[in-house]
Amino acid sequence: MVGEAAALRLGSTVAKAAAQMWLGGKRREQERTLDMAELIRLRVSGLRFQRGVQRQFEEMADAVYDRLAPFLEREFPGLEENSRRAVIDAVCDTFAAADLSDEAILAADARPAEIVRRLTGAACPPVGLGEAESRLYELLFAECVEYYVRIVRGLPVFEERALSELLARTTSLGAEIARVLQRLPDRSLFAPEGTDRDAEFRRRYLELVSTTLDEVELFRRTSDRAGAQVRLSVAYVSLRATGDEIRARREGARRALPLLRPDMSDWENSGGEGAGMRVEAALGGPARVLLRGEAGSGKTTLLRWLAITAARGAFTGELADWNGLTPVFVKLREYSGRALPTPEAMLDSVAGQITGVMPKAWVERQLADGRALLLIDGVDELLDAERRGVREWLRKLLAAYPEVRMVVTSRPAAAGADWLRREKFTALHLDRMAPPDLAAFVRQWHQAVRELGEELPCPVEELPRYEQSLLNSLKDRPHLQSLAGTPLLAAMLCAMHLNRGSQLPRDRMELYRNALHTLVHERDADRNVPSAVDSELSLGDKVVLLRDLAWRLSDNNRSEIALEQAALHVGQKLAGMRHLDSLQDGTTVLESLRDRSGILRSPTLGRLDFVHRTFQEYLAAEEAAEEDRIGNLIGRAHLDLWRETIIMAAGHANRPQREELLTGILDRAVAEPRWTRKLRLLAAACQETVPQLSEELAGRVDTAVETLLPARRESDPAQLAAVGTSLLRKMPKSLTELTEKAAVQTVRTVALIGGSEALGLLSSYVGDKRDRVVRQLIQSWSYFDPDPYADAVLSGIQLANHEVVVKYSGQLRALRRLAPTDVDIYFPLDDLGALRMLPPLHDLSLWSLTGEADLSLIPHMPDLDALALDGDAAFTHMEALERFTSLRHLAISVRNTSDLSSLRLAEKTTHLTLWDIHSGTDLTQCHTALSGLDRLYVWAADYSPVNLTALPAVPVLQLQEVDVRAWLETPGFKPPEVEHLMLMGCLLPDDRGSLDFPGVEVHIF
């Protein structure tokens, strides 16, 4: 059911209920099924009067429609049509059956919240709705009741009935007042006056978050309407994350999951497959996350998406439990140089317009109840001393509100993986986009810009052609794939392709330069925008002004400036531009740059910043080169905030300046042992942008790089890979002289650089027999196209004793000729028939099954010893497992499989793991299959109460995250028939004596 039709039906339902109130007040059973026209004909005499009454209530229905239509358009966009229809049916049925007579309304003092509580308490909850559906049902029902009450209170007849009710109450006025006083909320630290408005304010706040944060700047050319945005909820593309500390989700599984890395998959699978863990899945486990990512990797966009999705209660999958949380988005850049916000001030940047009517201590109550989702953005945008203050601020927040969920973002240089380890944060790193992710991004970007309509530089119907043309260019030009590895750069590349056809850049510096020229000047000048035609400022003039602003911000370690002060700086710069015919007003020019360039923006009233920090760094670097501030850069080379600026300054600089810059950095590396490693890495990274070095300086840089080799630390490969393919010439042709640890990091470094030269070098490492080195060579498959790597590297490795991880379907084709025995498949798989390409295996793990998984499609493997089946799939034909006659270990997620009666196990199956058991799981259905096991392992979903009384006798029963207290209180409880009962992370009774079962050894972990 589309949003408009649903809103119209709900509006008619509300209006009909109001008509019944107006026409009599008492609900007659036979009138419940009448439509409004029939009801009016029954209760109103006279055709003309009937038509007038009907028009009045139709207008009421339209008014409700006007409120609900946009609500339904933006809320819960992920719900399918049949789910939405079920919710609307449930709301209408509940509303039609409810007692909405004047007596019921007056009994609740005509307060919508009280009426909702009474009605929901009296009504049977709808059956068969999922979490998201139930949430939408509650929201819609509450909205409809509130509209109904406000309509009824406006009816003339209501005042008369309310007065009669009030007079009837005077005989017991004292008791009534006492009852009302008892109903008032307790006055305490967390429940002061005004808590009765909490729900109303929350709804208003979430609507504001959903609206104001649901926009994203796409780097594009527009027409006259400046600042056009597209919806983030349309443009958002799921990214992938590497867990710096991710442990296996299945600690009880036979083996742990490996860490996930980005890949280089084939482009035939550009529908979204690829390596790495989806960031939404990675966020779903830990309550506290430090999310690290390079410039432009999508950290802020991800936080905004989390905020608007939480505001709409539209999370699915791993984040479904986050529905109901209240998002609080804090931009740390706004607090540079001033105190970090108290809870009551945290809403200022997003909802400052309504904080004046916020109930006292509302934010504190959200935090204390564990209902807040605290999203802290931009640790790296503060000075080092200020970052220490952030850590202390977070520590105090968590001490006061330990249940709050929190995601904090930073660039890696500003916050290491262990920066918040003491605060028990899990560190995640946003990976660069692999080719499948890039293809998905390109498609989503072109889908999102459709909303710009006439503002596009081409007809909307031509967008598919541009989209496919860009995908073809990326496929055929690997350097562009590497260039567009972050959402920021990919968006710029998409816009440049749309605006300038085939003129795609060769490197990052050219991409920034072209994007700036297009955004700052060409998009308006080419389209004859009046403000651009009449302006005396050339492209060079505008860039000079922007460079000056960028340097002033960076020089003061700031990312924002007061608009008034920025206008003063622009005015001073304009005064020195003697070639201009007339004196330009600084405020007018600055406002024009902000409104038209797409580079500047006002994040809050009276403030100015660059739309992305990367543009500030690029322009500040150009200013440093233009004004010969090389000495200033050398003095700051050890500071994380200046790393990107210095790398790009090396690209902007002329030859003498480059020599001075790199010589100065290397001299400091010798003179200051504290910063030696960081400075040498910086000098190495500058090679990305410098076009040429003198022979002497190149030798010094090479020597500095050689001191960093071989890579030994976990963080070394990523930093060294930034040097590029030139580093491959310094890599050893053999690993025999290296320690195992250094050899592993060397393989990782070569793999991260990628390309045909790297592939050739890795093939020379194949003879190394050390276990960790071999594992790293196998894992590096994900960085290359599958077939060439399989032929050059994997074909020379004995895979029989090693686990092979498959991260996209293109790798499946190569597996048969490689003949591994142990395979883990991570990409989403909804057709088990695809496994027919696999060779016979000993171990097989499928971690991301989706849809309806027919187990009879798994090919027969006579030697299969261990099988793991996980994901969001509903399994069918479970009897097919019986044909794996050698299968000893089986692990299966039964979260979405309601019927377990068909489960059959082979005779040799002695170890069974059941994941995601919940209260609806009926283990009696598979009682026979569970008999004869040596060990049964049960992992509950979210500590669900599970009925285990029907379990058969088994020597070892292991329970993980089970509500044991509820199990002991189950009617008809009987002790388990086991020899060993192992309880891991379970909810246990206070009286441990209740766990003393005769003949059972209980082990608690």
**Spatial CB neighbours of 177, under 8 Å, sequence gap ≥ 6:** none
Count CA atoms closer than 13 A to 908's CA, side-chain side. 13
What sign results for the dihedral spanned by CA atoms 622, 623, 626, 629?
Answer: negative
Model confidence, pTM: 0.56
CB atoms under 10 Å from CB of 945, counted, come to 17
| pLDDT tens-place string over residues 566-624 | 999 999 998 888 888 677 788 888 888 886 666 787 777 788 888 778 889 999 999 99
- Per-residue confidence (pLDDT) for residue 891, from 0 to 100: 94
The most distant pair of C-alpha atoms in the chain lies apart, rounded to whole Å, by 103
pLDDT at position 877, please?
A: 93
Instruction: Please give, one letter per residue, the 3-state secondary structure of 119-155.
Output: HHHHCCCCCCCCHHHHHHHHHHHHHHHHHHHHHHHCC
Region 733-754: mean pLDDT is 91
User: What is the C-alpha end-to-end distance of the chain, expressed in Å?
Assistant: 50
Q: Which residue, 148, 79, 73, is CA-closest to 111?
A: 148
694: CB partners within 8 A, 6+ apart? 655, 659
Partners of 240 in the beta sheet? 278
The answer to which of 287-291, 381-385, 438-442 has the lowest mean pLDDT is: 381-385
Q: What is the mean pLDDT of residues 309-325?
A: 85
- What is the predicted pLDDT for the residue at 60? 67
Please give the single-letter amino acid code of residue 835. L
Specify whether the CB–CB gap between 294 and 395 falls below 8 A.
Answer: no
What pLDDT score was predicted for residue 634? 96
Cα–Cα distance between 582 and 585 in angstroms, integer?
10
Of the pLDDT bands very low, low, confident and very high (cuts 50, 70, 90), residue 106 is: low
Q: What is the mean pLDDT of the chain?
A: 79
pLDDT > 90 in the chain, percent: 26
Higher pLDDT, 21 or 149: 149
Report the sign of the C-alpha dihedral through residues 264, 266, 271, 273, in that order. Answer: negative
Closest CA to 656 of 625, 700, 621, 618: 625
Q: How confident is the model at residue 527 (pLDDT cuts 50, 70, 90)?
A: very low
Query: What is the per-residue pLDDT for 21?
Result: 60
What was the pLDDT predicted at 36? 52
- Is there a contact between 505 and 651 (Cβ–Cβ < 8 Å)? no
- Give strand pairing partners of 823: 804, 844
Taking residues 811-837, report their average pLDDT.
Answer: 86
For residues 814 and 788, is the Cβ–Cβ distance under 8 A? Answer: no
Whether 78 has a pLDDT exceeding 80, the answer reads no
Confidence of residue 549 (pLDDT cuts 50, 70, 90): very high
Q: In what order do the strands lie in the sheet with 560-562?
A: 560-562, 607-610, 600-601
pLDDT at 997 over 70: yes
Mean pLDDT is highest, among 184-188, 364-368, 620-624, 826-830, for 620-624
The DSSP annotation for 675-744 comes to GHHHHHHHHHHGGGT-S---HHHHHHHHHHHHHT-S--STTHHHHHHTT-GGGGGGS-S-STTS-HHHHH
Q: What is the pLDDT of residue 397?
A: 93
State pLDDT tens for residues 839-858.
889 999 998 888 899 999 99
pLDDT at 344: 86
Binning pLDDT at 50, 70 and 90, where does residue 432 land?
Answer: confident
Write down how long the chain is.
Answer: 1005
CA 553, distance to chain mean position in Å, is 30
Distance of alpha carbon 713 from alpha carbon 125, whole angstroms: 57
Q: What is the pLDDT of residue 530?
A: 39
The residues near 49 (Cβ < 8 Å, ≥ 6 apart) are: none
Q: What is d(CA 454, CA 64) in angstroms, rounded to the nearest whole number?
A: 32
Residue type (1 letter), 610 = F
Please give the share of the chain, as a percent, with pLDDT higher than 70.
Answer: 76
Q: Which of 90-104, 242-256, 272-286 has the lowest mean pLDDT?
A: 242-256
Asked if 645 and 622 touch (Cβ cutoff 8 Å), the reply is no
Please give the pLDDT value at position 437. Answer: 79
C-alpha to C-alpha distances, 784 to 19, 125, 478, 778, 790, nearest whole angstrom: 68, 53, 11, 11, 9
| Helices and strands (H, E) in the chain, number of each type | 40, 22
* Pick from 950, 933, 938: nearest CA to 895: 938
pLDDT computed for residue 185 by the predictor: 41
State the pLDDT at residue 969: 85
Asked whether the predicted pLDDT for residue 191 surpasses 60, the reply is no
Residue 12 and residue 6: Cα distance in Å, rounded?
Answer: 10
pLDDT tens profile 487-505:
877 887 888 787 765 567 7
Q: Which has more confidence, 372 or 111?
A: 372
